[in-house]
Amino acid sequence: MRVGAHVSIAGGVDNAVGNELDVGGNCGQIFTHSPQVWQDPDIGAKEAERFRAQTDAELNGPWVIHSSYLVNLCTPKPDLREKSAASMQAEIDAASTLDIEYVNVHLGAHTGAGVDTGLENAVSVLDELSIPDDVTVLIESDAGSGTKLGGEFEHLATVLERSEQELDVCLDTAHAFAAGYDLSSADAVNATIATFDDVVGLEHLRCIHLNDSKHALGTNKDEHAHIGEGEIGEDGMRALINHPALETIPFVLETPSEDGKGFEWNIDRVRALRN
């Protein structure tokens, strides 16, 4: 079973490996810099070499780079589009340097341009990127609040179909639940996974952000809860963790650190729920 968490790179990207091991993970996710600012990754050759060597020796993988929160692929604004494209290219280049397989990104918000125009904007930005064969961009499902796109599986499918790039998907369970896809029981999980397969295709599912939700089904509110302790609940989480179509997909946790529980507790919880 491949399960891990989003960990810090404070002090150097190579520190992420030890941080992942400390919480019991064997795969994981990082930011290459603060996600709240426009900043390029600053990764030295020696720390990159240490990261690659330690990853090969200690982890099962994969790693995922999560793009900056400021990136908006759907924007109609030329300046934001340019910054978003440049930021994505920098993350892709960093992933290639670090031998990281995936770069994860939200589609962003169309901010009044309309759904179809927003999706076309996203496709056009993605198609400008130079993506090497050893890196894949993952489009992450969204909670769908406001004009944000990616809450509907059809949005993800449209981008994959229209883009000239070989793109895949990261499914966030809390986001999908908030967007109206029920995951709170075994039957609901089966139905939602079948819908995803029909609309997007399970062959495109490369990573799952495994998070419970603090808010009810279809509320479009994105706030993560501890595994089995949110609105998805233990039954839903157990069904996800043991679903036969997901058994080879890496689970990456973005659960909170609160109530005396952090990533280690949540990773242990995932393993305890695995049959």
pLDDT band for position 244 (50/70/90)? very high
Across the strands, what pairs with 168? 138
**CA 65, CA 94: separation in Å to the nearest integer?**
9
State residue 128's pLDDT score: 98
**CA 141, CA 132: separation in Å to the nearest integer?**
23
Query: Which CATH homologous superfamily contains domain 3-273?
Result: Divalent-metal-dependent TIM barrel enzymes (3.20.20.150)
Domain extents for the chain? 3-273
Cβ neighbours around 259 below 10 Å, total: 9
pLDDT band for position 185 (50/70/90)? very high
Nearest to 127 by CA among 154, 89, 91, 174: 89
The model's pLDDT over 126-167, given as tens digits with 9 standing for 90+, comes to 999 999 999 999 999 999 999 999 999 999 999 999 999 999
Angle of CA points 183, 59, 168, to nearest 5°: 45
